[in-house]
A and B are shown apart, each in its own frame.
Chain A
Amino acid sequence: MRRVAVSGIGVVSPLGNSAADVLANARAGRSGIRRLDIPFASRLSAPIAGTADFDEEAHFDATQARMLDRFSMFALYAANQAVEGSHGALADVDRSRVGVFLGTGMGGTLTMDSGYRTLYGDDSDRIRPFTVLMGMHSAAAAWIGIEHALRGPNLTYSTACSSSAVAIGEAWMRVACGQLDVAIAGGAEAPLSPGSLKAWEALRTVATMDADDPSASCRPFSRNRSGMVLGEGAGMLVIEPWGRATARGATILGEVMGYGLSNDATHITRPSVEGQAAAMRSALQSAQIGPGEVDSINAHGTGTQANDCTETAAIKAVFGDRASQIPISATKAMHGHLLGAAGALECVLSLLAMRHSVLLPTVHLQQPDPDCDLDYVPNQAREGTAARTMLSSSFAFGGTNAVLVLRGSS
């Protein structure tokens, strides 16, 4: 297996639309979760979300924009940023050996929602002709392939909240084993349609709104946590063999060392300690490192009652007595749950944190929970502490658990 370098990072998120902004906001503990300013907000019990400040018209001309759902715009913008930042990863490459690997949970749900509103809300048959092309989950990856003329595998993964961790992991395998020379990998999600917001509310997994400070509504690992908050955005990486990246003088932003998968196979929503622990162990095995080499973890940390206790127990199961010495960051408290893009954004945050010697905080950790008694880096970033190796965990409804092993680059 070849070593795999990360040579480009692109991001659209509630914490900003560049690696620099995202890192600055995350290390300052600033939350990108805000009160939703849409007409439909009055029909939501908790009108909050992690929203990306993304001007669609500034980034896409009208002809292009009307073929793109917002999730595809996020993906394209982030992929272009990553390619540009890689300083030539796609120059002098056989484009049949470049792949696109993208995770999304809900695909073009805004487009589909708009179509249904026409059909049922307006009682009209005037469905827009591009609804299928904009709504399909594979659209975002397809557009990235078209934009850069990439003729290798173009794959979309949909395993709910682990989709983009799976996409990055699968891309890593293809590059590591020698099948591909470059991969663009990550995820994109734009889930803030009325239908989707209402459906998540109906499932009773979303947080109640903090009346005093809506931005503090998501509180992972805090005893007073009340659920997750939806977020939107994309994270995309350019990955390539280590030797190729160094040979062309690329700035290496980190390394993907391995990836583990497991399936709970028990319940459609309830997470399992065994399943989460198995994914972490499988990740360590694939990276050929022992648990002693993990310095820090970006937790799945959704802020739901069920996840946070289960994840804490799973970390203890894998790391034993050392678990309490491993700093754990639950960054969803700041950016919300980006569903299919969550794993990619958290992978980006982990790489940036290692590169810039900071442990990112779990903000809004107001009340210790006896069932969540590890070191979650509560409320304040720890500056000057560089983790060398991190796990980034993504655990999904449906039971597909995916864990990436990442190494920093200074």
Chain B
Amino acid sequence: MTSTFERLSAILVKNYKLAPERLTLDAPLESLGIDSLGTVELLWNIEDAFGIKLPSDPVDLPTLGDVVRFVDELVLRQAADPAPAAGSSPGLRTT
């Protein structure tokens, strides 16, 4: 089974044209050219790719490893309780 890190890396390679060898768990997002605005878009893409709904509260994710842990935790939690975290998202139900 593909790991969260591999799926995340695939998004980064495809959408941000990043070289795969630069993608490590301790790589800061800023060093990959993904600033706070870029993170907003990355999280939006993650929602689609992982079929999860992110909470609207701000979240601090300095490294790729932090993103992986954050996503894993949400996947687990939302698998146990499929109700969306906030608001309704009809588009998600089709994914």
The residue on B at minimum CB distance from A118 is: B91
Asked if A128 is an interface residue, CB under 8 A from chain B, the answer is yes
CA distance A316 to B44 in the complex (A): 59
- Contact, CB under 8 Å: B91 / A122: yes
- With A61-B17, A62-B17 known to touch, is A126 a contact of B87 (CB < 8 Å)? no
- Contact, CB under 8 Å: A123 / B91: yes
Which A residues from 122 to 148 make CB contacts under 8 A with B? Answer: 122-126, 128-130
- Contact, CB under 8 Å: B41 / A126: no
- Contact, CB under 8 Å: A63 / B16: yes
CA distance A130 to B17 in the complex (A): 19
- Contact, CB under 8 Å: A126 / B48: yes
CA distance A122 to B95 in the complex (A): 13
- Contact, CB under 8 Å: B15 / A62: yes
- Contact, CB under 8 Å: B89 / A130: no
Which B residues from 75 to 95 make CB contacts under 8 A with A? Answer: 87-92
Chain A residues within 8 Å of B88, by CB: 125
- How many B residues are at the interface, by size bracket? 10 to 19
Closest beta carbon of chain A to B65's beta carbon, Å: 23
Chain A residues within 8 Å of B49, by CB: none
CA distance A118 to B89 in the complex (A): 12
CA distance A122 to B90 in the complex (A): 9
- Contact, CB under 8 Å: A126 / B16: no
Closest beta carbon of chain A to B95's beta carbon, Å: 9
Chain B residues within 8 Å of A126, by CB: 44, 47-48, 89, 91-92
Which B residues from 33 to 91 make CB contacts under 8 A with A? Answer: 33, 40-41, 44, 47-48, 87-91
- Contact, CB under 8 Å: A124 / B91: yes
- Contact, CB under 8 Å: A125 / B17: no
Closest beta carbon of chain A to B56's beta carbon, Å: 12
- Contact, CB under 8 Å: B17 / A124: no
Chain B residues within 8 Å of A61, by CB: 17
CA distance A118 to B15 in the complex (A): 21
CA distance A131 to B92 in the complex (A): 19
Chain A residues within 8 Å of B33, by CB: 63
Closest beta carbon of chain B to A382's beta carbon, Å: 51
Which A residues from 46 to 70 make CB contacts under 8 A with B? Answer: 61-63, 66
- With A62-B15, A63-B17 known to touch, is A129 a contact of B44 (CB < 8 Å)? yes
The residue on B at minimum CB distance from A125 is: B89
CA distance A124 to B84 in the complex (A): 14
- Bitwise interface map of B from 10 to 29 toward A, beta carbon under 8 Å scored 1, else 0: 00000111000000000000
CA distance A253 to B40 in the complex (A): 44
Chain B residues within 8 Å of A128, by CB: 44
CA distance A126 to B46 in the complex (A): 12
- Contact, CB under 8 Å: B89 / A124: yes
CA distance A319 to B23 in the complex (A): 70
Chain A residues within 8 Å of B90, by CB: 123-125
Chain B residues within 8 Å of A130, by CB: 41
CA distance A123 to B94 in the complex (A): 11
Chain A residues within 8 Å of B91, by CB: 118, 122-126
- Bitwise interface map of A from 60 to 87 toward B, beta carbon under 8 Å scored 1, else 0: 0111001000000000000000000000
- Contact, CB under 8 Å: B17 / A129: no
Chain B residues within 8 Å of A66, by CB: 41
Chain A residues within 8 Å of B40, by CB: 129
Chain A residues within 8 Å of B16, by CB: 63
CA distance A66 to B17 in the complex (A): 13
Closest beta carbon of chain A to B44's beta carbon, Å: 5
Chain A residues within 8 Å of B17, by CB: 61-63
CA distance A130 to B87 in the complex (A): 20
CA distance A221 to B16 in the complex (A): 51
- Contact, CB under 8 Å: A129 / B41: yes
Chain A residues within 8 Å of B15, by CB: 62
Closest beta carbon of chain B to A60's beta carbon, Å: 13
Could you jot down 9 A-B contacts, CB within 8 Å? A62-B17, A63-B33, A118-B91, A123-B91, A124-B90, A124-B91, A126-B91, A128-B44, A129-B40
A123-B90, A126-B92 given. 16 additional CB < 8 A pairs?
Answer: A61-B17, A62-B15, A63-B17, A66-B41, A118-B91, A123-B91, A124-B90, A124-B91, A125-B87, A125-B90, A125-B91, A125-B92, A126-B44, A126-B89, A128-B44, A129-B44
Those 4 A-B pairs whose CB atoms lie nearest each other, nearest first: A124-B91, A126-B91, A129-B44, A125-B89
Give A residues with C-beta under 8 Å from B. Answer: 61-63, 66, 118, 122-126, 128-130
